[in-house]
């Protein structure tokens, strides 16, 4: 992994396809997760585009920061990393909380965001907080995958994906509960694709559908037999959706 540093801040990130030209793809993970959740997706996208997946502070290999956690603060950190890497414009692909972060970036800096792909996310992230932040991998294995998804796959990806300590995970879920962009999506000026699973128990399918209906020019892709972590369950479909979108942005 590579690193970008400033006083009091260190962000680790993974990179694939650094020699490719055109708008790079930046992958933004969800609550309690990290760049490892995108290991397969990043490798596949990196065959065609420069692709970067970061560990937000306190997740994976990036140390914590002292300031309060919010969707807006995470947005600013993603923007800082892009600036440090010399990315004048990027396509943002965000999963769950990462989708909220990507949408906030597009609303704030439309000239710097070539497009947004939201995976398992909407204009709000409803749902109650977990009861036990120390066993999120067990919860994610049970709640983030469709009924037909092999349990071995769900359990393996859940172990890989949950990489934040309980206090950071709790702050992530609290930040998600506070966030609501429904009153602002009509002003979106960036191309948007919303990808949702028809068996998503974390962000119900009606939420991606609402966003796609209300954001100007947005497209909705609903995947059958897919839960919240649809990029693990249907990687071919997600990769193709991102590549098709990137070719048009």
User: Which residue shows structure tokens 């479909």?
Assistant: 237
pLDDT at residue number 144: 96
Q: What is the mean pLDDT of the chain?
A: 96
User: Can you list the pairs that 56-61 forms with residues at least 24 positions away whose Cβ atoms lie under 8 Å?
Assistant: 56/11, 56/28, 56/29, 57/9, 57/11, 58/164, 58/165, 58/168, 59/29, 59/32, 59/33, 59/34, 59/163, 59/164, 59/168, 60/12, 60/34, 60/35, 60/36, 60/163, 60/164, 61/1, 61/12, 61/34
**Span 91-119, mean pLDDT?**
98
Whole-number Å distance between alpha carbons of 5 and 63: 11
- Collapsing DSSP to helix, strand or coil, 70 comes out as coil
pLDDT in tens, 62-71: 999 888 899 9
Residue 4 CA from chain centroid, whole number? 20
**Span 34-40, mean pLDDT?**
98
pLDDT over 90 (residue 248) = no
pLDDT over 80 (residue 119) = yes
In terms of pTM, does the model score above 0.75? yes
Q: Please state which of the four CATH numbers 1.20.58.1290, 3.40.50.2300, 3.40.50.1820, 1.10.3720.10 is assigned to the domain occupying 2-248.
A: 3.40.50.1820
pLDDT at residue number 105: 98
**Span 202-226, mean pLDDT?**
97
Percent of the chain past pLDDT 70, that is, above it, reads 99
pLDDT in tens, 123-180: 999 877 788 899 999 999 999 999 999 999 999 999 999 999 999 999 999 999 999 9
pLDDT at residue number 126: 82
Considering only the C-alpha atoms of the chain, give the largest distance between any 2 of them, rounded to a whole number of Å.
47
């Amino acid at each position: 992994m590579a690193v970008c540093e400033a006083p009091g801040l260190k962000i680790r990130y993974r990179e694939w396809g650094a020699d490719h030209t055109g708008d790079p793809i930046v992958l933004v993970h969800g609550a309690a997760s990290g760049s490892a959740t995108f290991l397969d997706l990043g490798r596949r996208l990196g065959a065609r585009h420069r692709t970067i997946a970061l560990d937000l502070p306190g997740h994976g290999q990036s140390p914590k920061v002292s300031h309060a956690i919010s969707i807006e603060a995470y947005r600013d950190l993603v923007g800082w990393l892009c600036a440090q890497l010399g990315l004048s414009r990027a396509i943002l692909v965000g999963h769950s909380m990462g989708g909220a972060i990507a949408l906030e970036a597009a609303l704030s800096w439309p000239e710097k965001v070539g497009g947004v792909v939201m995976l398992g996310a909407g204009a709000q992230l409803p749902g109650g907080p977990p009861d036990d932040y120390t066993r999120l991998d067990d919860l994610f294995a049970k709640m983030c995958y469709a009924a037909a998804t092999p349990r071995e796959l769900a359990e393996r990806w859940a172990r890989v994906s949950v990489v934040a300590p309980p206090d950071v995970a709790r702050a992530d879920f609290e930040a998600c509960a506070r966030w609501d962009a429904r009153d602002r999506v009509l002003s979106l000026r960036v191309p948007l694709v919303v990808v949702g699973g028809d068996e998503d128990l974390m962000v119900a399918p009606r939420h991606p559908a609402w966003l796609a209906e209300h954001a100007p020019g947005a497209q909705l892709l609903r995947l059958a037999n897919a839960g919240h972590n649809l990029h693990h369950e249907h990687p071919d479909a997600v990769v193709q959706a991102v590549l098709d979108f990137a070719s048009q942005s």
